[in-house]
Amino acid sequence: MRAFFHSLFKVHTDLIRSYHSILSFKWLALGIVVGAMTGLGAVAFYVGIEALSHVLLGRLAGFSLPAPAGEELFSGAPGPYRPWLLFIFLGAVGLLTGWLVHRFVPQTRHSGTDGTDSMIKSFHQQEGHISPIVPAIKVSTSMLTIAAGGSAGREGPISLLGAGCGSWLAGKLRLSAKERRILLLAGAAGGLGAIFRAPLGGALTAVEVIYREDFEAEALLPSILSSVVSYSIFTLVFGAEPIFGIPKFEFSDIRELPVYALLGLVCAFAGWFYVSAFRAIKYRVFWPLTDRFGFVPALTLGGLGMAAIGYLYPELLGGGQGWLELAMLGKLSVTMMAGMIVGKTLATSVVIGSGMSGGMFAPALFVGGMSGGIVGTLGQRFFPDVVAQPGGYVLVGMAAFFAGVANAPIGPLVMVCELTQGYGLLAPLMLASAVTLVLGRGVSLYENQVDNKFDSPAHVGDATINILEREQIEGYYTPGRVSIVEEGTHFGALTDIIVNSNELCFPVRGAGDRITGILAVQDLRKVLYEDTLCELLVAKDVARKAVLLRPDEDLYAALLKFVESDLPQLPVVDSEDPTKVLGLLAREDVFTAYARTLKTMKEQV
């Protein structure tokens, strides 16, 4: 038994050592943890929306809205038809949301379009920090908004929830701002991968949606891991069947390519209308109302406005995935799809523009899908020998539209392939997305997007190549015995230690063998031979704050600590046991490493 526990302890020790010394293992562990957190949150979020929607819209209000084949959790005959209840449901949700926002998170008014945009802002401008109360309020009120019939998506709140989990975990582990941002994106990827049942598409969308012309490559590994874990937990509960129950679509006739190119043109125009209408309603209607009357009246009016739209046109209630499936199956007319494009745009603009919670992603897919449905139906009508499967245009329109308005060319494309569980439409997806991106370059749904890394405060130091980040302290510090002084060592004894040593800095040890400070010779030089101080001062009185290095840290981090502390030497401590001093790193060692690495790079060119 003793041998068993000894082996178990050794395995634990090896895992801890791997976590600190192997970068990929570290992100493997963190990606799995944040993915598990997000996956469980996505399950609760999804069940909450479906259950509340079944009760409020189905049983109480009597609506019978179509649901996609893979998302109908609750079934049963609807109750008596009472559409007037929409005004009570959505008015109450707007009132509650307005009070919660005003009382607890008024700063979220300036967070951008939706939860995804809020995550983007946190990445660029807030060092990855998200206060836990923000996703708590936004996610809970989003559940109520969508369940009550609000035209909003689930992906904005769930990406914010995942990002909040990543930010919280990074804070608990005391990770750096750079690492916190990576975990932020990993959490968002987990949320998207689970809610759309598209693990790779969710991961790619999360790392590219924060830029217009770039993507966050360093976050790709933990984002994929998080998305896979979150997706696995979600499908373990709800099954791995795709959201839409549709036939397999294939691209086989090259003559269809011009029609798909036309679809890209239509999606670019629809994207401009979608974003322009949203901005106009948000900033020209609801922001002046909020400035004058406050959050509660403005959000209540938004809820009542959505209730009026839903009362007249029930097809615009909720996310609308069921109507998308009907469009793919060819069961909607061109006139109806055109009306739904305009109506969905206005309804979503009223809900999200007023400040109510929800996402813009799913409504964007809806508008793009209906745009594709129009092009596909008309294409089959005029060119029946060329356009054989108009339902495929709905899927292509979804990807192309969102790629254009979110400036995310890869993630939505892969996501649609995962939704259909095949790559039969890959060529038209690429063509339509490219056309939409080129024609819609001036359109951006997310207000906090920046062009690329050099425009982001998160990468302000990346304007030049930081070669010190490539080298670890482990290869450059001087290992060996280091003179350590106790906090209570008198000044007289300190002088003997300093005189008989070549070191310039001495770690100071306190209770529990912790290194509590650093004694620098430069601080004692003027009073080194003052005999009157022998019994008056102790090491603790003259020591600076402890600044410690670990072997697995990079030399750029060490350089920053040298600059901040203005010390010539810094102690290097064991990654697992910070009470164990392994040696010293001198400032000159960093400069030597810089010169050596730069020389090596030039020789390789």
The H or E element containing residue 29 is: helix 23-53
Q: How far apart are CA 266 and CA 371, in angstroms?
A: 7
Single out the residue of 175, 188, 123, 195 nearest to residue 204, CA to CA: 188
What pLDDT, in 10s, does the model give residues 180-207? 999 999 999 999 999 888 899 899 999 9
Which comes out higher in pLDDT, residue 15 or 336?
Answer: 336
**pLDDT of 24:** 64
Q: How far apart are CA 223 and CA 97, in angstroms?
A: 31
Question: Looking at residues 83-100, what average pLDDT do you find?
Answer: 95
**pLDDT of 464:** 42
- CA dihedral (32, 33, 39, 45) in degrees, to 10, reads -160
How many CB atoms are closer than 10 A to CB 138? 26
Q: Which amino acid is at 256?
A: E
**pLDDT of 320:** 87
What pLDDT, in 10s, does the model give residues 364-375? 999 999 999 999
Single out the residue of 306, 273, 340 nearest to residue 152, CA to CA: 306
Question: Looking at residues 64-82, what average pLDDT do you find?
Answer: 84
Domains of the chain, first to last = 26-238 (1.10.3080.10), 254-458 (1.10.3080.10), 467-604 (3.10.580.10)
The H or E element containing residue 570 is: strand 569-573
Burial class (CB in 10 A: 0-12, 13-18, 19+), 327: buried
What pLDDT, in 10s, does the model give residues 474-515? 888 888 888 888 888 877 777 777 777 888 888 899 888 888
Which comes out higher in pLDDT, residue 32 or 526?
Answer: 32
Residue 52, SS3?
helix
Average pLDDT taken over every residue of the chain: 86
Calculate the alpha carbon distances from 432 to 156, 274, 275, 394 in Å: 25, 18, 19, 12
Quickly state the pLDDT bin for 164 (edges 50, 70, 90). very high
**pLDDT of 598:** 72
**pLDDT of 7:** 55
Model confidence, pTM:
0.75
What pLDDT, in 10s, does the model give residues 216-240? 888 888 999 999 999 999 999 988 8
Identify whether the C-beta of residue 375 lies closer than 8 Å to the C-beta of residue 269.
Answer: no
Choose the weakest-confidence range: 20-24, 141-145, 458-462, 494-498. 20-24
DSSP of 108-156: GGGS-SSHHHHHHHHHHHSTT---THHHHHHHHHHHHHHHTT-S-BSHH
How many CB atoms are closer than 10 A to CB 4? 8
Quickly state the pLDDT bin for 259 (edges 50, 70, 90). very high
